Structure 1
Amino acid sequence: MRYEKHRKRKKRKSTSIVLILLVLFGATGGYAYYQYKQGVNQSLEKINNDENNVNEEVYTFEGKKDQYGATNILLLGSDAREGEKASRADTIMIAHYNEDKGTYKLTSIMRDIYVNIPGYGKHKINSAFMRGGPELMRKTIKENFDIDLQYFAIVDFQGFVQLIDEAFPQGVEINVEKKMSAYIDVPLEPGLQRLNGEQMLSFVRFRHDAIGDFGRVQRQQQALQAISEQLSGIQTIPKLPKLVGVVTPYINTNMDTGDILFMAKDFFAKDRGDIQTFRIPIENGYKDAKIKGEGSVLDLDLEMNREAFHQFLTQ
């Protein structure tokens, strides 16, 4: 008899624990959704638009995981002017995420490299996006560098600005190595300082100096590493739904919100160390050239760059 009473009490206790957990998970999920929608609405107010008119263009994308079991995300920075479609890819990057290894890597592809674009012949790689959207860019990268891309994300630069301002109310600490003023909206003075969203955009876009686009790519990688380091940690996870919501109206992607939150949570929850970075072309893996109809290009030693790229991915 006592045994039966004990078993019933134990069963009631287990049921209560399950119910409490379900309530907690439900409340957490509800709060996360509320934060996400709050972020979306905050950005929609800034762009004076509604959710049905943002990111209307639908792209096909036939990507998959790469041969090493990693997830690769094609990141394209869009610089569309008012009244234009997002027709130009000003920035080309690949984010690499290997769930089994718990590693995160970043590759920058310089927009002036001269490669074969399937169906169009040899051109600067950034023209692949203008000719056929992210799918043609995916095919171009696959043909030249033998790597598959599973997802794409086209980010309007104003989304970058809003994300920085939301995540870093005091700004991102970064060293500005020189005075920057030419062809950027917000001039920068040299020195270690905290930059807001508009200032960070100037930092990652400036390229009118002696090293041109090479310096810009280096600063982009420097900025992303600084952002990830200063945003990392378990305390960031509760902020993720709103941050994803803030950037959503500015992004066109084949990833759903669950994919983004899962990878972001994994990124911030793990002691991942530094993000490894890579650049195409590699040092001594190209030569400057002028091509009629294209202007100045970076003419690759394709085999050397492809081999170095795969070494980076597998190390």
Structure 2
Amino acid sequence: MVQLNEESRLSHKKAKKSHRVLRYVLLTLAILIIGGVGYGAYAYYKLQPQNHFNHLKAIGQSSDKFKQRTGTFNLLLIGSDARPGDPAGHSDSMLLVHVNLNTHNYDILSIPRDTRVYMPGVGYTKLTSVNYMEQLNHGLKQGTTNAVGAISQLTGVPINYFAETNNWGFQDMVNAIGGINMTLPFNVTLTHPWYAEDQNKTFTAGTHALDGKIVNEIVHERYSLPGTDYGRQQLQEAALVGIAQKVGQPANVTKLPALFGSLSKYLITTNMTQDDMVSAGLSAVSDLHPQQQIHYHQIQGTDEVMYDDMLQANNDEVVLNPSQLQSLTKKYFN
């Protein structure tokens, strides 16, 4: 009888211990779940554009001079000719984007690569050389930051973010979303392709299903186009619309966090964090109608042969119309 009581006591003690251990496990699990949900809710709150894009720092022009609303920012996209392993690259294309995630409108200004600009301590030169020389002298990120500052000074627009990719990075990005449908406004013949097998290929005006390699070739072309560099700008617009349409397809929405999280591997340099990319991307695709929301602007300039202080020689440069530039940036970018 004593033995039974002892066994009963031990059994009861073990049961209490088991219940206590289980209670601790459940409590710990509950804390982790609540913490995870709390973090998720905090992260979700933090990534909302009105919370995330607020009181932003600017490169170049002081943002104190401008009324920058929450949920908006200015982004400079740079496409360079840097090859893998190169220490620097000439900027082939520059797109200044005013992003308004409140209204889901995106104003884009294409800046000609040969635009004449002033660099403090150097003098006058053209934009395509600024990025290259600044990167050689100061490293990739600081060099690009300095080039962004020159564009901010030229346009009078505070620039919050920049992202630079090369042709291979752009090609890989398009392939990562499975290619795009690109509507060409005119016939395009590849006169200076990156790949020899694409020499003299012609694409008629209209919509084409294209992979990253061919999209990359087309947006690089300019000599066969009406208006050369201005024709290239129209092709860049067509590519951006095609990318936006593909990313916004319902089948791709669940892949977006992973896609935006991996964007950095396609970029040479940027000052955007992963949270910046995810917040902007998720907000954009929540109400995405590219053909209605993307507004593309071009600015005319005159081709002139002028002395280049950086190269210390005469050079073909594009001089932008300053009054048109000021009027356009004031209306759409500030």
TM range (shorter): 0.7 to 0.9
Provide closer, same or farther for how the CA distance between residues 193 and 301 of structure 1 changes in structure 2, counting only shifts above 3 A: closer
Q: TM-score, normalised by structure 1?
A: 0.73
- Return the match for 1:301 from 302, 317, 321: 321
State the one-letter code of the partner of 2:67. Y
SS class of match (2:189): coil
Structure 2 counterpart of 1:156: 166
Give the secondary structure class of the aligned counterpart of 2:87.
Answer: coil
Matched-pair contact (CA < 8 Å) for 1:236–1:268: no
Q: Offset at 1:134?
A: 1.9
Note if 1:275 corresponds to 2:287. no
Q: Which entry has the higher C-alpha Rg, 1 or 2?
A: 2
- Contact 1:79-1:156 within 8 A present in 2 as well: yes
Q: CA, structure 1 residues 72+194, in 2 after alignment: closer, same or farther (shift >3 Å)?
A: same
Task: Please give the per-residue CA displacement for 1:197-230, whole angstroms capped at 9, x wherever unaligned.
Answer: 0000011110112521111111111211222123
* 1:236 Cα offset (Å): 3.2
C-alpha distance 146-23 of structure 1, shift in aligned 2 (>3 A): closer
Give yes or no for contact 1:118–1:139 (8 Å, CA) kept in 2.
Answer: no
* 8 Å CA contact retained: 1:75, 1:152: yes
Unaligned runs of 5+ in 1: 1-15, 30-60
Structure 2, unpaired ranges of 5+: 1-29, 44-57, 135-142, 308-312
Q: Which runs of structure 2 are paired with 1:243-258 in the superposition (5 Å)?
A: 243-251=259-267, 252-258=269-275
Q: How many residues of Structure 1 are paired with residues of Structure 2 in the alignment?
A: 260
Shift of 1:269: 0.4
Aligned residue number for residue 93 of structure 2: 91
Compute the displacement of 1:247 (Å).
3.2
Structure 1 residue runs of 4+, over 4 Å off? 18-26, 61-66
Question: Counterpart of 2:204?
Answer: 190
| TM-score, normalised relative to structure 2 | 0.69
**2:98 is aligned with 1:78:** no
Aligned 1:1-315 pairs, distance under 5 A = 62=59, 67-69=66-68, 70-132=72-134, 133-168=143-178, 171-175=180-184, 177-184=186-193, 185=195, 186=198, 187-191=201-205, 192-209=207-224, 210-233=226-249, 235-251=251-267, 252-271=269-288, 273-279=292-298, 281-282=299-300, 286-292=301-307, 293-313=313-333
Q: Identical aligned pairs, as a percentage?
A: 23
Task: Give the RMSD, CA atoms, in angstroms.
Answer: 2.9
Displacement of 1:144 in angstroms is: 2.1
Hey, what's the Cα distance between the residues in 2 that align with 1:85 and 1:242? 29
